A and B are shown apart, each in its own frame.
Chain A
């Protein structure tokens, strides 16, 4: 009897371990900017620092109603909003809330127009002599005045950033920077006019404030800690621990993206009812197996 049950238990333990690995694997993704991506280009690290008591996932713009003194973070949007959806974001800002948009693809321009902002994200190849990692696309930027997200005198590293026009500049490149507005297909070209380019700007709209950062890659796992002289970690910490409620946009942002089996697993993980149902099913299975002397 002992040998039979040991055999069964070992088999079950192995299957369970394999299933757990499989489940963990399936629950991840390699989508860029996804919070479920644990690789270098995912944002799992930033999302793991968020306080679940003060952070809310906004899966629909109608969920923005009723918030005061809140900060909404939109990272890497890839959805062109309709005027109706844009109006909901505008109402949210006009009420006195803060919106932080991090985008270099240009999708955020639709939202900025809906908000009535003058800030425009301009795509192109931004390179700089002041660079990190011996790569001209990983540029070093510095604050031009005091702002809530970074200490004065600090500098940040951005990764293939775009540039901004309009608004009040907060972060700019050094003067040894160039912007190639007609980049080559591989985005490797280094050309353009030397000068100082804005990469983060602020604009007051109604009672609220809109911040635009022209590089969402600062949120990816690989950029979390670029080294001691750079304040990337401080910047992310300030956003994660902003005063008031923190809202994370999953409606238009690429951070909420997960597909296939991972989508089902994340759905179950985010829903208590599903979790209880699955736990009950598992318990039933175990009881049946025990009763039928399978285990």
Chain B
């Protein structure tokens, strides 16, 4: 067969094509892969899997929710409101995850609902306790001020707020303990570990006891009968993103009043008093210019109380990182990122990216003070700079260092076939696979045929060597004395070239019996190897060669030929008897192998 590898190649291509179809087909059909929406049915297995995996996650999440209360209470005990705020934020996220899962599983009834309600209430309690703890700190700070002893309004406000604080904490703790009992019952049923949750209860009780034992300042009872509103702020000097506590008392007590808090005649907050006349609120310094500002608190027809708030200016630092890039919609340009930082990350701050001193693009920072923007630029050298012009912020403007970049030309892109017709895409994949396979096959065959040119130890293949030797020999003969046509010498020459016996006789005369026997053996072996498509026949011994063809018609004859060949070639026999026997076996083998091949 001329191309024995052709059927294998064709079959291989069919199989590859089949696998290309297979890759997009439905045989290996996982429910998680099923996104098809049918109007006839839903996939029950997928629904089950979703429900099961969610249920396995539910209980650990409930455990985490009750456990995560403990650090908040410890922070409150240690009088660390910042840490308590961080832990409370974490706890809220955990609770939100649990709420999402409960909604997803449609479990908004029964004990889970009760658990969720109680936990939500406890989130609110912790938030209120944190506010009260911050107020407590504020009251202490005010009590330590120099003017405190001489300022009756201050004393009245602090005394009233302290009493309100104490009362609020007591109410919150009672609410907490009620919810705690409910959550304990449900958690025990669900076999949750409640040891840490019990510790939280103990910590809350300790916190309340500490608060109850604290001394509450007193004030002149007569001043509580006056019709007026008092205002305190703490701190009085602030910087960017500091929180200002605003509180006071409106007298006489007995009615709930609406209190509006203003800054420089602009509305800031609205809050209300309790029955004792206490009000409490706060705000964070953001877009307030540096300098002195008047804070006013007013209610009804009472004369508004005022305090001065001093906002200090803080330095800022703007950074810029630039990376050349390319966006399909905008072309070449630079990915710019950086941040604006002061004593805190500057939120929602306007940032201007200036490029080459001639153009600019505006962006804003996020919650973390970072910004990110793509600036379209032509390929080539550019210089960029980020600028934060503080505007209304109590911050000193800042400019980043100038950054030089080289924008490369747009990259060459291959067409996207992922969104094309699936058949077309499969066809492309099949063609690529086929091409790669063919190239690999061609390379493999080529590398087998042509050895590397720089290999010094290269050995010429046996077939090529023998053919070349024969051709050279014939050419030499021809050049020396080519016999006339039809002469006896020409017949001898033809015999010598074209018959095996002729080759043998010629070699016998020139190189002796052993070499002649070898030459004719190799010729016969080559014929057999060609038939079996086995080019490496010279690596086999004569006996191994005879085993290869043991199923052929000439196997017996070749076996005997090999026997006498070995006697002459390897046994070194030069006897006339062996030579004659070898020639007889050679004739037989030559005839049989030739006829079998035909």
Verify A294–B7 contact, CB threshold 8 A.
Answer: yes
Q: Is A39 an interface residue (CB 8 A)?
A: yes
A38 to B29, CA, bound (A): 8
Indicate if A272 sits at the interface (CB-CB under 8 A): no
Q: Is the CB of B47 within 8 A of A138?
A: yes
With A29-B26, A159-B44, A216-B40: A134-B31 Cβ-Cβ less than 8 Å: no
Interface string of A3-15 (1 = CB under 8 A from B): 0100000010001
Stretch of B11-19, B131-139, B569-577 that contacts chain A: B11-19
Q: Are A223 and B41 in contact (CB under 8 A)?
A: yes
What is the chain A residue whose CB lies nearest that of B55? A134
With known contacts A1-B548, A159-B42, A160-B41, A25–B29 Cβ distance under 8 A = no
Total of A-B residue pairs, C-beta within 8 Å: 106
**Interface contact B26-A28, CB-CB below 8 Å:** yes
Q: Is A133 an interface residue (CB 8 A)?
A: yes
The tally of residues in B whose CB lies under 8 Å from a CB in A reads: 41
Interface: A104 (CB within 8 A)? yes
Report if A203 contacts B (CB, 8 A): no
Assess A220 versus B26: contact at CB under 8 Å? Given A22-B18, A25-B18, A134-B105: no
Per-position binary interface string of chain A over residues 195-229, scored 1 when its CB falls under 8 Å from any chain B CB and 0 otherwise: 00000000000000000000011001011001000
> How near does chain B come to A55, taking the closest CB pair, in angstroms?
24
Of the candidates B15, B27, B43, the one whose C-beta lies within 8 Å of that of A41 is B43
The answer to whether A222 and B22 touch (CB under 8 A), given A1-B547, A11-B8, A294-B7, is: no
Measured CB to CB, the closest approach of chain B to A146, in angstroms, equals 28
A251 sits at the interface (CB 8 A): no
Asked whether A133 and B47 contact (CB < 8 A) given A1-B547, A1-B548, A159-B41, the answer is yes
Instruction: Decide if B533 is an interface residue (CB 8 Å cutoff).
Output: yes
Across the interface, which residues of B come within 8 angstroms of A226, CB to CB? Answer: 44
Closest approach, in angstroms, between the C-beta of A190 and any C-beta of chain B? 12
Assess whether B106 is interfacial by the CB under 8 Å rule. Answer: yes
User: At the interface, yes or no: B25 with Cβ under 8 Å from chain A?
Assistant: yes
- 21 A-B contacts (beta carbon < 8 Å): A1-B532, A1-B550, A1-B551, A4-B534, A18-B15, A18-B19, A19-B15, A25-B21, A26-B21, A32-B41, A40-B29, A40-B46, A41-B38, A133-B42, A133-B44, A133-B48, A138-B47, A159-B41, A187-B39, A217-B41, A222-B44
Which residues of the other chain, B, contact A137 by a CB distance below 8 angstroms? 42
Which residue among B4, B12, B47, B105 has the maximum number of chain A CB atoms within 10 Å of its CB? Answer: B47
Give the B-binding residues of A (Cβ under 8 A): 1, 4, 11, 15, 18-19, 21-22, 24-26, 28-30, 32-33, 37-41, 76, 104-105, 132-135, 137-138, 159-160, 186-187, 216-217, 220, 222-223, 226, 292, 294
Tell me if A32 and B40 are in contact (CB < 8 A): yes
B535-560 CB contacts (< 8 Å) to partner A: 547-551
In the complex, the answer to whether B40 meets A104 with C-beta atoms within 8 Å is yes
| Interface presence of B432 (CB below 8 A) | no
Q: Is the CB of B51 within 8 A of A32?
A: no
* Chain A positions within 8 Å of B46 at CB level: 40
Q: How far does the alpha carbon of A105 sit from the alpha carbon of B11 in the complex, in Å?
A: 44
Question: Which residue from A32, A135, A292 sits with its C-beta under 8 Å from B42?
Answer: A135
Other than A19-B14, A26-B18, give 6 A-B pairs with Cβ distance below 8 A. Answer: A1-B550, A4-B533, A18-B19, A19-B18, A133-B47, A294-B1
A39 with B26, Cβ < 8 A, contacts A25-B21, A133-B51 known: yes
- Does any Cβ of A come within 8 Å of B479's Cβ? no
Question: A15 touching B532 by the CB < 8 A rule?
Answer: no
Which residues of chain B have C-beta atoms less than 8 A from A39's C-beta?
26, 29, 34
Chain B nearest Cβ from A232, distance in angstroms: 10
A12: shortest Cβ distance to chain B, in Å? 9
Alpha-carbon distance A135/B548, docked complex (angstroms): 71
What residues of A have a CB within 8 angstroms of the CB of B1 in the complex? 292, 294
**Residues from chain B with Cβ under 8 Å of A220 in the complex:** 41
Determine the residue in chain B with the shortest Cβ distance to A158: B41
- Interface-central residue, B42, B45, B48, by most chain A CB under 10 Å: B42
Chain B residue at smallest Cβ distance from A29: B26
User: Which residues from B are CB-within-8-Å of A76?
Assistant: 40
Nearest B residue to A15 by beta-carbon distance? Answer: B11
Shortest distance from the beta carbon of A51 to any chain B beta carbon, whole Å: 26
Contact B41 A25 (CB under 8 A): no
Task: Report Cα–Cα, A200/B4, bound state, in Å.
Answer: 65
Contact across chains for B534 and A15 when beta carbons are under 8 A apart = no
Give Cα A177 to B315, complex, Å: 66
10 shortest A-B CB distances, which residue pairs? A30-B26, A22-B18, A217-B41, A133-B47, A39-B29, A159-B41, A18-B15, A25-B27, A222-B44, A1-B548
> Of B4, B18, B106, which is within 8 A of A134 by CB?
B106
With an 8 A cutoff between CB atoms, is B412 at the interface? no
B18 & A294 in contact (Cβ 8 Å cutoff): no
Chain B residue at smallest Cβ distance from A132: B44
Q: How far is the CA of A105 from the CA of B464 in the complex (A)?
A: 76
Task: Name the CB-closest residue of B to A157.
Answer: B44
Known A-B contacts A15-B15, A138-B42, A160-B41; the reply to A24 vs B27 at CB < 8 A is yes
| C-alpha spacing A15/B15, complex, angstroms | 8
A222:B43 contact, CB within 8 angstroms:
yes
Smallest distance from the beta carbon of A290 to chain B beta carbons, Å?
Answer: 12
Q: Could you tell me the distance in whole angstroms from the C-beta of B41 to the nearest C-beta in chain A?
A: 4
Bound-state Cα–Cα, A33 to B11, Å: 34
Q: Check if B37 is an interface residue, CB within 8 A of chain A.
A: yes
Taking CB as reference atom, which chain B residue is nearest A186? B37
CB proximity of A254 to chain B, nearest CB, Å: 9
